[in-house]
């Protein structure tokens, strides 16, 4: 019997077909390189095509929702802006009408910032605008340009459980021909609860009412809103003669200056002005060193805006008749039968000063007459009286006990100017 041939012997017929198949399936080096180049080219083509396909897909799947006019608004710069015609009348209190410096309703204008002129025919139709409350810190660092998004982010809403910050039936008005008037509006809450402790008023276009180029919003200066009870303590501009003296600037109700003046029986604005005319040095002494020169200037300037009215007071003596205005300034004098105008009084200064001091002491007994108008300008002619005189007649020193005020020493009253006189 012949022996079996091993499978791995050379020339075996069993393994020849397998070898041939393996030889036929094995790719050549060139074909491998070709396939790699083709795959790489296809990949690069897809990478280049992908952004284009994404853009096409995005446009077809998510169409633009903004109108063409709004797209133009974002691209084209605009010179149109809303502005308040005048500043607000301050201070502001809750429940009080918000008005401008002339105590008139707020007025909104549309202006072209290139020319600072009112735009009256630029808009084809009326536009709705609304008044809102802004944070007092907006815009930051006196930034003059802001976006609508920044403006909207700084709108202040009411506190939880409170009424809307602004009350009134005219918070939204129509802007016609570049002009709109805001009716009665008022704050319902104070400004103490926000970080800046101040508000601003802003005016913006109601988005749904306008599709044109952007109109920049209007804003006021920053201001404090106080509770209505604070209005009881506010200053009067201008003050009245019979106003309590703490209505003057720099003199607070029940404060140190108020108490010092009250102790000297200086209770009204008229009392304050009379003593400032007769003896300004003594008035400053009553207020004390706490009243700086700058504070004094503010207080006396405010007092001098007072309306003097038409009342006059007549001081009579056997040889003279002198007429005073309500703050003890001489208006006219008849002495020894000679009539003197205010321009002629300096020639009899010493005598006139004595009459002024006596009239001041006897003020309550002077004859009161009505019908001669007094001019507020009398109060504001030049510097305070004590600063207007030279050093003549420094020896005129007299102490007396007035009936209206505490003990006052009249001293160092110069005599060669209009002290105690009115023109």
Task: Kindly indicate the confidence band of residue 344, based on its pLDDT and cuts at 50, 70 and 90.
Answer: confident
Two structure tokens written together for 301 = 């300037």
Residue pointed to by tokens 């009350």: 167
Quote the CA–CA distance of 330 and 40 in Å, as a whole number: 109
Asked if residue 11 has pLDDT above 60, the reply is no
Which of 114-123, 126-135, 245-254, 350-359 is predicted with the least confidence, judged by mean pLDDT? 114-123
Report the pLDDT value the prediction gives residue 14, as an integer from 0 to 100: 47
Q: In this predicted model, what pLDDT tens digit does every residue of 184-240 receive, in sequence order?
A: 999 999 999 999 999 999 999 998 888 888 999 999 999 999 988 766 778 888 999
Asked, as a colleague might, if the bond just before 139 is cis with ω within 30 of 0, I would say yes
Domain residues of the chain, as ranges?
A: 73-229, 245-410
Average pLDDT, the chain: 78
Cut 0.75: pTM above it: no
Report the pLDDT value the prediction gives residue 58, as an integer from 0 to 100: 57
Quote the CA–CA distance of 400 and 361 in Å, as a whole number: 8
Asked if residue 273 has pLDDT above 90, the reply is yes
Report the pLDDT value the prediction gives residue 258, as an integer from 0 to 100: 96
The neighbouring-strand residues paired with 315 are: 322
Across the range 382-411, mean pLDDT stands at 33
Task: Kindly indicate the confidence band of residue 409, based on its pLDDT and cuts at 50, 70 and 90.
Answer: very low
Across the range 328-350, mean pLDDT stands at 82
Two structure tokens written together for 25 = 């399936």
Selected residue with higher pLDDT from 293 and 355: 293
Quote the CA–CA distance of 109 and 123 in Å, as a whole number: 13
Q: In this predicted model, what pLDDT tens digit does every residue of 390-402 receive, in sequence order?
A: 333 333 223 323 3
The 10 Å Cβ neighbour count of residue 235 is 16
* CATH code of domain 73-229: 2.60.40.2550
Highest mean pLDDT among 73-77, 115-119, 365-369: 365-369
């Amino acid at each position: 019997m012949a022996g079996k041939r091993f499978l791995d012997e050379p020339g075996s017929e069993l393994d020849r077909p397998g070898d041939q198949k393996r030889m036929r399936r094995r790719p050549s080096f060139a074909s491998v390189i070709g396939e790699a180049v083709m795959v790489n080219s296809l990949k690069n083509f897809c990478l280049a095509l992908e952004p284009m396909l994404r853009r096409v897909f995005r446009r077809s799947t998510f169409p633009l929702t903004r109108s063409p006019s709004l797209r133009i608004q974002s691209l084209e710069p605009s010179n149109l802006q809303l502005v308040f015609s005048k500043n607000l009348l301050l201070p502001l209190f809750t429940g009080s009408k918000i008005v401008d410096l002339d105590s008139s309703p707020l007025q909104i204008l549309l202006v072209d910032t290139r020319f600072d002129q009112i735009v009256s025919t630029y808009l084809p139709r009326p536009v709705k605008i609304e008044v809102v409350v802004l944070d007092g810190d907006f815009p930051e660092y006196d930034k003059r340009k802001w976006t609508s998004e920044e403006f909207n982010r700084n709108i202040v809403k009411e506190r939880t459980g409170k009424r809307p910050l602004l009350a009134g039936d005219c918070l939204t008005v129509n802007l016609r021909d570049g002009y709109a008037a805001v009716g009665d509006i008022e704050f319902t809450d104070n400004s103490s609860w926000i970080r800046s402790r101040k508000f601003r008023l802003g005016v913006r276009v109601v988005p749904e009412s306008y599709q044109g180029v952007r109109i920049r919003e209007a804003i006021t200066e920053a201001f404090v809103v106080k509770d209505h009870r604070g209005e009881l303590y506010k200053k009067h501009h201008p003050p009245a003669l019979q106003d309590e003296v703490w209505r003057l600037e720099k003199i607070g109700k029940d404060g140190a200056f108020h108490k010092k003046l009250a102790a000297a029986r200086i209770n009204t604005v008229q009392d304050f002005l009379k003593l400032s005319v007769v003896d300004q040095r003594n008035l400053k002494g009553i207020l004390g060193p706490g009243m700086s020169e700058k504070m004094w200037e503010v207080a006396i300037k405010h007092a001098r805006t007072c309306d003097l009215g038409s009342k006059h007071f007549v001081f009579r003596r056997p040889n003279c008749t002198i007429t005073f205005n309500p703050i003890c300034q001489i208006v006219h004098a008849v002495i020894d039968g000679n009539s003197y105008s205010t321009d002629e009084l300096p020639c009899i200064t010493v005598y006139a000063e004595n009459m002024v001091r006596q009239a001041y002491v006897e003020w309550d007994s002077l004859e009161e007459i009505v019908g001669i108008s007094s001019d507020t300008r009398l109060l504001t002619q030049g510097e305070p009286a004590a600063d207007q005189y030279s050093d003549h007649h420094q020896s005129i020193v007299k102490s007396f006990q007035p009936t209206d005020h505490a003990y006052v020493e009249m001293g160092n009253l110069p005599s060669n100017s209009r002290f105690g006189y009115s023109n």
